[in-house]
Amino acid sequence: MQQFLTRLFARLMKSWSWVLLIVLTILIKWVSWYPGWVEINYSRTVYPVIAKTQRFLFGRIPFSVGDIFYGFLILVVIFKTFQFIKVVIRRRLNRQYFIAGLQQIIFFFLFVYVFFNLLWGLNYNRQGIANQLGLNVKQYSLADLDTLTTTIEIRLNEYAAFVSEGQRDSFDKKKTLFNNAGEAYHEVEKLYPFLTYKPKSTKPSLYSYLGNYLGFQGYYNPFSGEAQVNTTIPRFLEPFVTTHEIAHQLGYAKENEANFVGYLACRNYPSPVFKYSVYLDMYRYAVGEVYGRDTTLANEFQKKLHPQVVKDIKEFYNFYRRYKNPVEPVIMWFYNHYLIANNQPGGKQTYNEVVAWLIAYYKKFGIEAL
C-alpha cells in the first residue's frame, strides 16, 4: 500500500498543475486559521472585486448560468460513473486504469476546493458583520429571548394587519421582487456603507420545483456569483429569502450572518411586504428557541398571533409536508456536514443562531432598532 501511494504521489508531482493545486490548498487551509487576516486581505479587498466582476458578467443574462453549470457538471459525473461501471463489468479494471481514475478524482476535488475558496469560500473564515458593527454576540438568557420574541411578535402582528392582498400580489412578478430586494440594500447601505450591492445578479433557480423536494429555498453559486431563489415557495417567504441570498453575494457566507444581514435589509426597507416577510422568519427562529427552554411561554406567544400569521405559518408547514420524500433527509445530512466542514459547528442549527445576533443588536442599539 505504501509503495502504491508513493508511486501515485510521484506521478502527481510531475505536473505543475498538481503542484500548484496542492500548494494553494495548503495556503488556503493555513490562512483560514486567521480570521482577522481573511477579513482585511480577502473579504474587504479581493472578494468584492471578484464578486462585482461575476455579477457584471452574468447579472444581465436572463437565466441562471450557475444552474446550467451545475446541471452540466452532474451530467459529466453521471457519464464518468457509467464509464467506470462499464469497465468493471467488462473486467478491464487494472492497476494503471485505477491509478489514472483516482488521479482524476483527486485532481477534480482539489480543483473545486481551491476555486470554491478563492472565489468565495474563504468568507466562511472572516470576522464578519459582528466585527463591523461591534456586536458582542454571546449566550443569552430566557429573559433576553422573551424580550426579543415579544418585540418581534408585536412588529409581525402590526404588518400582518397592514399588508393587503394587493401588496402581496405586486411581488408575484419576480423581476419586481428582485428589483425591490436590490432597493432594500440601497436603503440599508445608507446606514451601513459596507452593504453596497452593485451590480445586481439575482435569478429564479431553474431547479425551483426540484428544490422543494431537496429542501432548499435558495442558494448562492460561488462559480457564477448569482443569487438563486426558489420561486415556487410561499410568496410571503420570498422577500427575506432573496435578501438572505444577496447577503451571501456580499461575502457573508455563514448562515447566521446571512440571516442577520437579510434582516437588516428587509427591516430598513419601507415595503410592508418585506418587513412582514422578515419578521415572520425571525419570529419562527425566536419562538423555536423559546420552545427549547419554556414550552408554556412559547404557547403563550402562539396564542397572541394575528390570524393572518397563523394562516401563513400553517401554509408554510403544509407546503413542505407536500414535498416530503425519502431523498430529502439524505440531502440535508450532506448539507449539515457541509456547514460543519465550513466553520459552522452547529450545522443546520446555524440558521437559528441569528437569534443571538438580534439580541446583541438590540442590546447595543436599543429595542427600537429591531
Which residues lie below 8 Å from residue 206, measured CB to CB, with a gap of 6+? 63, 64, 67, 68, 71
Q: Which of 71, 97, 125 is a domain's end point? A: 125
Q: For the whole prediction, is pTM greater than 0.85?
A: yes
For 170-256, strand residue ranges (E) read 202-204, 218-221, 226-229
Please check whether residues 163 and 121 belong to one and the same domain: no
Which among 199, 191, 316 has a CA at the least distance from the CA of 246?
A: 199
pLDDT at 11: 57
Looking up cell 443562531, which residue turns up? 353
The bridge status of strand 226-229 relative to strand 218-221 is antiparallel
**pLDDT value for 171:** 75
Integer Cα distance of 345 and 166 in angstroms? 42
CA dihedral 180, 184, 190, 195 (to 10 degrees): -110
Q: Which has the closest alpha carbon to 273: 243, 232, 304, 310?
A: 243
Other C-beta atoms within 10 Å of 208: how many?
Answer: 19
pLDDT tens over the chain, length 370 residues = 555 555 555 555 557 778 888 899 999 999 999 999 999 999 999 999 999 999 999 999 999 999 999 999 889 888 877 877 776 666 666 677 667 777 788 888 899 999 999 999 999 999 999 999 999 999 999 999 999 999 999 999 999 998 877 777 777 788 899 999 999 999 999 999 999 999 999 999 999 999 899 889 999 999 999 999 999 999 999 999 999 999 999 999 999 999 999 999 999 999 999 999 999 999 999 999 999 999 999 999 999 999 999 999 999 999 999 999 998 899 899 999 999 999 999 998 889 899 999 999 999 999 999 9
* Same domain (yes/no): 87, 190: no
Query: Final residue of a domain: which of 96, 125, 154?
Result: 125
Q: Are residues 30 and 106 in the same domain?
A: yes
Residues 144 and 92 occupy one common structural domain? no
| Same domain, residue pair 221 and 361 | yes
59 and 158 assigned to the same domain: no
Give ∠ CA 195-340-354 in degrees, rounded to 5: 40
Residues 242 and 94 in one domain: no
CA–CA dist 211, 7 (Å, integer): 43
Quick check: 228 and 66 in contact, CB under 8 A? Answer: yes
The verdict on 84 and 149 lying in the same domain is no
> Is the same domain home to 112 and 190?
no
- 307: Cβ contacts below 8 Å, ≥ 6 apart: 160
Supply the DSSP string of 25-65, one letter for each residue: HHHHHHHTT-HHHHIIIIITTHHHHHHHHHHHHHTTSSS-H
**Identity at 301, one-letter amino acid code:** F
User: For the chain, how many structural domains are there in total?
Assistant: 2
CA distances from 107 to 13, 16, 103, 320, 368 (A): 12, 12, 6, 38, 53
246 and 227 in a common domain: yes
The one-letter amino acid code at 93 reads L
**44 and 185 share one domain:** no
Contact 210, 221 (CB under 8 A): no
Backbone angle region of 366, left / alpha / beta, with phi > 0 → left and psi within -120 to 50 → alpha: left
Where is the domain boundary, 94, 125, 156? 125
Q: Which residue bears the cell 428582485?
A: 178
Q: Note whether 109 and 135 are same-domain residues.
A: no
Report the SS3 class of residue 331: helix
| Number of Cβ atoms within 10 Å of the Cβ of 27 | 12
* Longest CA pairwise span in the chain (Å): 72
Domain residues for 285?
130-369
